[in-house]
Amino acid sequence: MLDLGRRLAGLLRAGDLLMLTGELGAGKTTLTRGLGEGLNVRGAVTSPTFVIARVHPSLGDGPPLVHVDAYRLGGGLDEMEDLDLDVSLPDSVVVVEWGEGKVEELTEDRLQILIARATGDTDDDVRRLTVTGLGDRWVRADLDALKR
Ligand SMILES: Nc1ncnc2c1ncn2[C@@H]1O[C@H](COP(=O)(O)OP(=O)(O)O)[C@@H](O)[C@H]1O
Ligand SMILES: [Mg+2]
């Protein structure tokens, strides 16, 4: 999942929104950690549960990574405006955990990643991912870099 995050980072640019779906322990934060490495941003990516959103500035000249745990956002992602982040979302790569029902209204352009533990597999480390690109941004995007 870390490796996938690193490769996915190569496809991303400012303004992109990723929505990560999967049960607790699925690997959403682990994937985001790989993204942080690939985007070369500052700070350790950890679960943002107690801060709602954490901004990781770029160590180079790339976009910052904004890591959101939408679980405690009552309304939609527009509530993020009230969080006083010192970056603007259109200038950032925004990754949202637990965003179902909250981010869809905000933008038609988003990459949805559904993470499931592979059922019937005895190896607890195996994850099955469904990646769906929505909107103009993603409809023609080449996601082959994500395959092995
Ligand atoms: N293939 C895998 N991908 C991601 N995490 C894995 C994998 N196999 C085992 N794990 C473990 O599962 C847990 C995933 O936790 P985390 O990324 O915080 O999940 P989430 O953010 O979805 O709740 C970690 O303890 C990690 O070590
Ligand atoms: Mg998490």
Atom 7 (ligand 1) nearest CA: 125
Tell me: the pLDDT tens digits for 72-90?
777 666 777 677 677 888 8
83-87 contact pairs (CB < 8 A, 24+): 83/52, 83/53, 85/53, 85/55, 86/55, 87/55, 87/57
Query: Taking the complete model, does pTM exceed 0.85, yes or no?
Result: yes
Report the C-alpha gap between 49 and 72 in whole angstroms: 8
What letter represents residue 110's amino acid?
Answer: R
Q: In whole angstroms, how far apart are CA 62 and each of 14, 32, 59, 79?
A: 8, 16, 8, 25
**Domain range enclosing 28:** 2-146
Tell me: the pLDDT tens digits for 8-20?
999 999 999 999 9
Percent pLDDT > 70 in the chain is 89
Q: What is residue 49's predicted lDDT score, i.e. its pLDDT? A: 63
List all residues 6 or more positions away from 32 whose beta carbon is below 8 Å from its beta carbon: 5, 20, 45, 65, 67, 95, 97
Report the C-alpha gap between 131 and 125 in whole angstroms: 19
Percent pLDDT > 90 in the chain is 53
User: If you measure from the C-alpha of residue 121 to the centroid of ligand 2, how many angstroms do you get, rounded to a whole number?
Assistant: 22
Report the C-alpha gap between 134 and 110 in whole angstroms: 5
Residue 33: which CATH number? Answer: 3.40.50.300
Whether residue 102 has pLDDT greater than 90: no
More confident residue, 77 or 56: 56
Q: Is 127 touching ligand 1 by the criterion CB < 6 Å?
A: yes
Number of domains in the chain: 1
